[in-house]
Structure formats: C-alpha cells, structure tokens
Homo-oligomer: A and B are copies of this chain.
Amino acid sequence: MRASRYLIATQKETPADAEIISHQLMLRAGMIRKLAAGLYTWLPMGLRSLRKVERIVREEMDKSGAQEVLMPAVQPAELWQESGRWTEYGGELLRMNDRHGRDFCFGPTHEEVITDLIRNEVKSYKELPANFYQIQTKFRDERRPRFGVMRAREFIMKDAYSFHVDAESLNETYQVMHRTYCNIFDRVGLDYRPVEADSGAIGGSDSHEFHVLASSGEDDIVFSTESDYAANIEKAVALAPAGERPAPAEEMKEVHTPGQRTIEAIAEFLGIDATRTVKTLLVKGEEDENGQSGLVALILRGDHTLNEIKAENLAGIAEPLTMATDEEIKSATGCEPGSIGPVNLPVPVIVDRSAAHLADFVCGANRDDYHLTGVNWERDVPLGRVEDLRNVVEGDPSPDGKGTLEIRRGIEVGHIFKLGNKYSKSMNATVLDEHGKSVVMEMGCYGVGVSRIVAASIEQNHDDKGIIWPDAIAPFQVAIVTLNAHKSPTVAEAGEKLYEQLRQAGFDVLLDDRNERPGVKFADMELIGIPHRFVVSDRGLAAGTLEYKGRRDEEKQDIPVAEALPFLINASPRKGL
C-alpha cells in the first residue's frame, strides 16, 4: 500500500476521553473513530489488524473441525422467551420492534438461535458431535461503555456452540477448544493465561476464561506461585486456614463501642488486628413457594471481602445477590447495621471458612453501640453452615496445595463453557441415541472477543512512541520510508523496487511515499507500530545500503540493499508469509 493513497489518520494529541492506553493509541494511530458511546468505526488501518485476528481465529477453528455458519444479528423474541432469557437478560439486551410491532433483539449471543437450528436439523447421535461457529457483530447495551473497543456496545465476536449425545463427548470437544484457544492466542502473539472461571449467567458447569495479562485489565486473576493453578478471583477457592481451630482462651464480654461502626474503627478502638474480628453482612434469601424471602447473614473475617459470585451460587441465597437495606436490617435485628453479629442473631447464618477458624473473636452485639469480645464458636454461638464466601488474597494457600496465590489483572479475551443441557432442555433439543432413545443433547459454548483482542494486544505491547504490533496482527508488517523522494528519482525508484520485492515475497508493506518531513513519517510509523522499518535515502543508496530498525530495537542498522529481503525474512517470525 502506498501511504499517499491511504487514510493515515494519525493524531498528535492524546484524546481527553480515552482512559486506557489502547484506547488512546487506537485513536491516535488512526485505527478507530468514535461514532457514539460504545460505537466505533474501524478505519482502514485498524481494520487490517482486525481482519488478521479474524483470519487466525477462522483458521484455527476450521482446523479444530468446527463448521462456520452465519446466524442473523436480529433475533425474534419468541426463542428468548422459550429459553427464559427474554425476561432474565436485563438492560444489556437491545430490544426493538419491527414495523409490524413484533419483538426482536440485536443478538448479544446466539445460544437460542443455534439450539433452535440444531434441534430441527440433527436427528441422530450419528451426526454428533458437531461444533458450529460464526464471526459476527454483536451488541450489548453496556450501561457504561468505555475503553474504546475494549468494552464497546457493538463488537465482533467469534461464538461457537457444540452439540453432543453425552457429557463425555462434550468433555472431548471442550478440551479441543481449550487447545484451539491456546493456538489462537499463541499465534496472535499475546501473553495470556487460561484460568478457571465462574460460568455466570450463561449457565452450565465447567468454564475457563483466557486472560491477557495487563495492568488495565478489569478482572483479578489468581495464580499459584508453584503450580499451574489459575483462576478468576470470582472462582478461586479460598481454603480454610490449616490446622484445628484454636481453643477458647477468653470469656465473652459485651463492650460499649459508641459510634464505632466499621471493622477499621472497632479494631482501632479495641487495639486489635482486623483479623480478630468478624463482619456480618445481611443479604436476601431465596424466595419460598409463596414468593416470600427472609434475610441470611454472611459472616466473614474482618479483613476479608465478600465474593458475591460465590455467595449468590449458594443454595438459599437470592440471585442476583441483593444486600439487605438498612430498614430491613433494623426490622429483622432491632439494631443498626454497624452492630450486627452472629450471637443470638434471629436469621440463618452462613460462616466463611476463615471466619469459622477464629477463636476469641470480636463481633457486633446486636445492640446499638455494643460489641462482643472473646467470642467462640460452639461455646457462645453454634457454628452451623460453613462455606467458601470470600475473595482470596495474595499469600493465601493455593487450593491445589502447591505454593501460595498471587493476583494480577487480566483482560478476558476468550471464554469456554460446558453448558450441559441448560438450553437443550428448556428448548427440547433432542436426538436419538444408539438405542433409538430420545436424549437431550449436551452443549458447549466458546467465545473469543475478536475486536477486543486488538485492544488487548496494544495494552501489552506499546511504548511512549506508540503501538508495537506482534508481526501476526500488524496492519502492515513492514514500512518503507523514502526520504525526499519527490526530489530524488533515485530514492523514489529504489523505494518502489524494494516495495515490489517485499510484496512479492508475501509481506504486507506500507510504502510511506508521502511528501512529508522525515520526522513526521518516522513518528507516524512508530505510532502506528509497524514492526519493521526500512529507510531509503540518497545518502544510504550512495553507500549501497538501507537503514533498518525493528520497532523494539534501540539502534538502527545499515543493510546492503541486496540483503534487505533475506534480512527481513530472518527478522520476521512470519517468514515470507
């Protein structure tokens, strides 16, 4: 491509409303432009990277044996009503009426559509397993779209759905997809980790997320220092402390704690560590048959935080997790939220594993401005139900027994789920098994955030000059910058010759033939992040050389003109592709 005939829409200023580096650089490098909140146009430069990601995803999915389809973006409400999600999905589902007043949505995902298709098309176990994918525009009406294409409302996703006669077959395909995702992210050139994840609102059992490690990530990812254990903090298991619970050593006493309503305040007031306190959180319980629900108390060690996902996955607790209001707390316990504790609490209690391990602890006395000290489980208050309720913290033991946990930030770029029969059951998607018996199919689903990968790659690969693309998804692999070409036919000719030579060898080349100052051209090529750069100048040509600089290199080097192609083939991991 010749830059003089291409939209090079670079900007010097950092856009004010772009919070994270990938968003800033994608705007500055002229890859995207905002149309409205969460809606972006991909400019030519950005689209080239997007298409390369798309191509890698497609090739690896094809290799895995998955079959590409294309389902409509606009979906009829009836299918969502059948699965129950028309009411469940909430505000992120963009709903609309057609000219006849019928209900539709812009699909944020396609479980219903594919399940409907496959229940009609596939009749026998002989046609299974089958895995169908599409690369398609989705819409999620995020309440607060942000970070450019990282959390846009309209985005491109690869979604795949597999169908099976039994759980064993699902498991096999799940493993194939796990490997396929590793292949995809390896090829794209990302530093990523597959981690255990909660399967969330989409339903089902096993689930792994694939995270790109980056400080701007919105997820906390937990790793073992000594094993392969890795999980989203939503899912990471918090073990009970080792050993037996210590025996009681103190008497239980009621202490006047006027105005002390937080763990920090109480600990300071009493001169103890927060680890010796417990906090009591009241949440709504599950509705009974009559639609009534009471409150449930969750007890955590004072320094720990509630893991809402773990809590809402427990039996007896309303989903989504709903904290009790101050009024509800007062009406159930007779006192203010800051003074609640498990002793003689008139609501059911669930105790976190770490809180259950405490002896001689401090808690609210269920009486305004009073706390209890020296409290012990069983002696002073029965220890009933114990569960894993909290988020892990750095230094916690790894749940596989090997090493301790550390926490880093991650950007989710892939997610694989075992859906089981969540959709196939509600939508009655059955096949005949080998005995001629009708069985509900098992399903898996597998997503890749295609447009998000572009941004995530930038979060991981940039410097103060701009983007640094991995070769595989760079908009162009090589930039040829000609200096003063409009005055020097020699330079212009040598630039064209090199351009043709590298193109014919299969490289994606941008010939920067613009009539701009060298500084402008260098800055643009660095901002855009093209991995390899050759400079063609009169001075160099006089010595029979070109100047080469890799995007990550500190130093330039002179390469004999005739050596340019072999040098590049050697320097690029995408050798002459």
Q: What B residues does A40 contact at CB under 8 A?
A: 72
A63 interface residue per 8 A CB criterion:
no
Stretch at the interface among A41-49, A176-184, A251-259, A307-315: A41-49
CB distance from A41 to the nearest CB of B (A): 5
Tell me if A154 counts as interface (CB < 8 A to partner B): yes
Task: Given A65-B5, A130-B7, A137-B137, check contact A76 B42 (CB 8 Å).
Answer: no
Is the CB of A480 closer than 8 A to any CB of chain B?
no
Does residue A384 face the partner (Cβ distance < 8 Å to B)?
no
Please provide the chain A residues from 1 to 59 with a CB less than 8 Å away from any CB of chain B in the complex: 5-7, 9, 33, 35-36, 39-44, 47, 50
User: Which of these binds chain B: A88-96, A198-206, A342-350, A438-446?
Assistant: A88-96
B70 x A41 contact (CB < 8 A) = yes
Contact A72 B121 (CB under 8 A): no
Contacts known (A99-B141, A141-B99); A33 close to B73, Cβ less than 8 A: no
User: When the two chains form their complex, are residues A6 and B139 in contact, meaning their CB atoms are under 8 A apart?
Assistant: no
Of all chain B residues, the one with the shortest Cβ separation from A110 is: B41
Contacts of A47 in B (CB 8 A): 68-70
B7, B74, B153: the one within 8 Å of A153 (CB) = B74
From residue A200, how far is it (CB to closest CB) to chain B in Å? Answer: 20
Return chain B residues, CB-CB under 8 Å to A121: 7, 9, 33
Contacts of A94 in B (CB 8 A): 74, 96, 98-99
How many angstroms between the C-alpha atoms of A42 and B73 in the bound complex? Answer: 12
A437 within 8 A of B: no
List residues of chain B with CB within 8 A of the CB of A99: 91-92, 94, 141, 143
Assess whether A71 is interfacial by the CB under 8 Å rule: yes
Does chain B have a CB within 8 A of A417? no
Instruction: Provide the bound-state CA to CA distance between A270 and B572, in Å.
Output: 88
A297 to chain B, nearest CB (A): 34
Asked whether, in the complex, the Cβ of B98 is within 8 Å of the Cβ of A69, the reply is no
Cα(A71)–Cα(B40), bound, Å = 7
Set of chain B residues within 8 Å of A70, measured between Cβ atoms: 41-42, 47, 50
Residues of chain B within 8 A of A39, CB atoms compared: 72, 74-76
Is A106 interfacial (CB 8 A cutoff)? yes
The CA-CA distance from A44 to B121 in the complex, in Å, is: 13
A112 to nearest B CB, angstroms? 10
- Complex Cα distance, B43 from A143, in Å, reads 34
A67 contacts the other chain (Cβ, under 8 Å)?
Answer: yes
Q: How many Å from the CB of A83 to the closest CB on chain B?
A: 15
Docked CA distance A272–B193 (Å): 88
CB of A73 to closest CB in B, whole Å = 6
List of B residues within 8 angstroms of A33 by Cβ: 117, 120-121
Q: Evaluate whether A42 and B69 lie within 8 angstroms (CB atoms) in the complex, with A74-B154, A130-B7 already known.
A: yes
Bound complex: CA of A106 vs CA of B5, how far in Å? 31
Q: How many residues of A contact B (CB 8 A)?
A: 49
Report if A427 contacts B (CB, 8 A). no
Task: Decide if A113 is an interface residue (CB 8 Å cutoff).
Answer: yes
Cβ contact within 8 Å between A41 and B67: no
Q: How far is the CB of A100 from chain B (nearest CB, A)?
A: 9
Closest chain B CB from A513 CB (angstroms) = 13
For A76, what are the chain B residues with a Cβ–Cβ distance below 8 Å?
35-36, 39
**Cβ contact within 8 Å between B73 and A44:** no
Known: A69-B43, A96-B94. A35 touches B139 (CB 8 A): no
Chain B nearest CB from A154 CB (Å) reads 5
Distance A36 CA – B116 CA, assembled complex (angstroms): 12
Residue among A40, A71, A127 facing the most chain B CB atoms (10 A cut-off) = A71
Known: A7-B121, A65-B5, A121-B33. A73 touches B73 (CB 8 A): yes
Q: How far is the CB of A152 from chain B (nearest CB, A)?
A: 9
User: Which of B42, B69, B72, B143 has a CB less than 8 Å from the CB of A154?
Assistant: B72
| Beta-carbon contact of B72 and A44 below 8 Å | no
Set B41, B120, B137: member contacting A117, Cβ < 8 A: B41
Name A129's closest neighbour in chain B (CB-CB).
B5
Bound-state Cα–Cα, A73 to B74, Å: 11
Contact (Cβ within 8 A) B95 A69: no
Q: How far is the CA of A117 from the CA of B30 in the complex (A)?
A: 12
Q: How far is the CA of A161 from the CA of B94 in the complex (A)?
A: 29
A7 touches B139 (CB 8 A): no
Chain B nearest CB: distance from A465 CB in Å? Answer: 22
CA distance A96 to B68 in the complex (A): 29
In residues 148-183 of chain A, which contact B (Cβ within 8 Å)?
A: 153-154
Q: Which residues of B contact A141 (CB under 8 A)?
A: 98-99
8 pairs from A and B in contact (CB 8 Å cutoff): A33-B120, A35-B72, A36-B76, A41-B117, A43-B69, A44-B69, A91-B99, A99-B143
The 9 closest A-B pairs by CB, nearest first: A96-B96, A42-B70, A44-B67, A39-B72, A36-B76, A91-B99, A41-B71, A99-B141, A72-B154
What residues of chain A have their CB less than 8 Å away from a CB belonging to chain B?
Answer: 5-7, 9, 33, 35-36, 39-44, 47, 50, 65, 67-76, 91-92, 94-96, 98-99, 104, 106, 113, 116-117, 120-121, 127, 130, 132, 137, 139, 141, 143, 153-154
